[in-house]
Copies of this chain bind each other. A is one copy, B any other.
Amino acid sequence: MSINTFGRVFRFTTWGESHGPALGAVVDGCPPGLELDESDIQPFLDARRPGQSKYTTQRQEADAVRIMSGVFADGGGKQRTTGTPIALMIENTDQRSKDYSEIAQTYRPGHADYAYDAKYGFRDYRGGGRSSARETAARVAAGAIARLIIPEVTLAAYVCELGGDAIDREAMDLSTIGDNPFFCPDPAAASRWEGLVDKARKDGSSLGAVVECVASGVPAGWGAPVYAKLDAELAAAMMGINAVKGVEIGDGFAAARLSGEENADPMQPGTQDAGPAFAANHAGGIAGGISTGQPIVCRVAFKPTSSILTPVDSITRDGAATKVRTKGRHDPCVGIRGTPVVEAMMALVLADHKLLHRAQCG
């Protein structure tokens, strides 16, 4: 069983391979009447788009999205969602399949090559086929629609650690995220990372990263206990992103080292509109799987890119020993371009849960 659909009320299904003619998403369950055209989606795809700096892959893709259905402009009015499925398509233009011909018979360690063969009996090896992170473009496109459903929420995703070098939380300024090629909110760290990533790139090595995403403005009450808790859904959403190996909500693993007193989030009288005030947010905005009205805080660990120039022991499809040295065009740190994907998945989970909450609780 193949599961290429995400979500419960606001759902999207993606399709496409790295080197096929196109990739896309079908968004189902979107409320009607939302103004939507390609310009609402394209900026988010542009943020994830390859080839924009020397710190990411040099594959060139316009990633131009086309809305194929589900919108209508009635009598000269603005184009709006109709409540029917919204099909999105992004054509692939710079596939260069020849780069990958030699891996047809060899398993790249750390990639899904062997696992796909073990599962399906064979695989589309061109650029990793369906297992390529190129699929995440479809998530980002769907995420742009999700944002329209949750205008009350402000999202910010950023790299908070790269190659083991963390940002200075005191120096963090979210307004600077777009000023550097790393989605880094600490200008000093961004400067240091230039050198780090450039060195990795030149060495044919790679680096990991930690991405943090904060959602402000989520009202208390979203989340569906007990098997679609908001934090559980976020965990699945994030762990399902290519190269992700860990997810934390709030203090995450650090909470396991605190005492109950240290980890407490005291509550104080608040206002009619904003709900209670909280003196801390160790919980990351979620209790019992339900949002508390505090900012939702999620952290995601990306492993270093598995494609490196250093030869690594591997085997062929026939089981013979070989060595793999991955040439071609790769991101030296996949966590960077993973940042807009993390933000998109946060939007997708929240939009879905806003509608889920409305379904049961009116």
Asked whether A94 is an interface residue with its Cβ less than 8 Å from the other chain, the reply is: no
**B residues less than 8 Å from A110 (CB atoms):** 260, 263-265, 283, 287
* Contact (Cβ within 8 A) A227 B253: no
On whether the beta carbons of B114 and A267 are closer than 8 Å, the reply is yes
13 contacts between A and B (CB under 8 A): A20-B68, A21-B69, A31-B360, A82-B122, A119-B357, A205-B259, A207-B259, A245-B250, A245-B284, A248-B253, A261-B308, A263-B306, A264-B308
Let me know if A171 is at the binding interface, CB within 8 A. no
Contact call B2/A5, Cβ cutoff below 8 A: no
**Contact status A114-B287, CB under 8 Å:** yes
Given contacts A246-B255, A359-B9, contact A4 B26 (CB under 8 A): yes
Q: Decide yes or no: A231 and B227 within 8 Å by CB, A120-B83, A256-B161, A304-B260 being known contacts.
A: no
Q: Is A80 an interface residue (CB 8 A)?
A: yes
Chain B residues whose C-beta falls within 8 Å of the C-beta of A268 in the assembled complex: 313, 315, 321
Contact A33 B121 (CB under 8 A): yes
Cβ-defined contact, B2 with A84, below 8 A: yes
CB contact under 8 A between A249 and B250, given known A9-B359, A220-B114: no
A179 to chain B, nearest CB (A): 23
Q: Is A86 on the interface with B (CB-CB < 8 A)? A: yes
A257 touching B208 in the complex, CB below 8 Å, given contacts A110-B265, A225-B84: yes
- Segment 97-131 of A: residues with Cβ below 8 Å from B: 104, 107, 109-112, 114-116, 118-126, 129-131
- Proximity bits, A68-79, B CB within 8 Å = 1, else 0: 111010110000
Q: In the complex the two chains form, what is the Cα distance from A207 to B225 in whole Å?
A: 25
Choose one: B4, B239, B257, B314; the contact of A266 (CB below 8 Å): B314
The 8 A-B pairs of least Cβ separation, nearest first, read A112-B288, A206-B260, A208-B256, A359-B359, A3-B228, A118-B220, A232-B240, A115-B290
Contact B287–A112 (Cβ < 8 Å) = yes
Q: Does A14 contact B (CB under 8 A)?
A: yes
Q: Are B84 and A130 in contact (CB under 8 A)?
A: yes
B360→A226 contact, CB < 8 A: no
Interface string of A120-146 (1 = CB under 8 A from B): 111111100111000100000000000
Q: Least Cβ distance of A64 to chain B in Å?
A: 15
Residues of B within 8 A of A233 (CB): 236
User: What is the total number of copies of this protein in its complex?
Assistant: 4
Q: Do residues B1 and A8 form an inter-chain contact, with CB atoms below 8 A? A: yes
Contact residues in B for A57 (Cβ distance below 8 Å): none
Please name the residue on chain B nearest to A72 by beta carbon: B124
Q: Does A270 contact B (CB under 8 A)?
A: yes
Decide: A33 near B122, CB < 8 A? Known: A84-B4, A268-B321: yes
**Bound Cα distance A304, B208 (Å):** 29
Q: Is the CB of B360 within 8 A of A29?
A: yes
A288: chain B residues within 8 A (beta carbon): 111-112, 115-116, 131, 242
Q: Is the CB of B115 within 8 A of A308?
A: no
A234 to B238 Cα, complex, angstroms? 12
The reply to whether B32 and A290 contact each other, CB–CB distance below 8 Å, is: no
- Chain B min CB distance to A295 (Å): 15
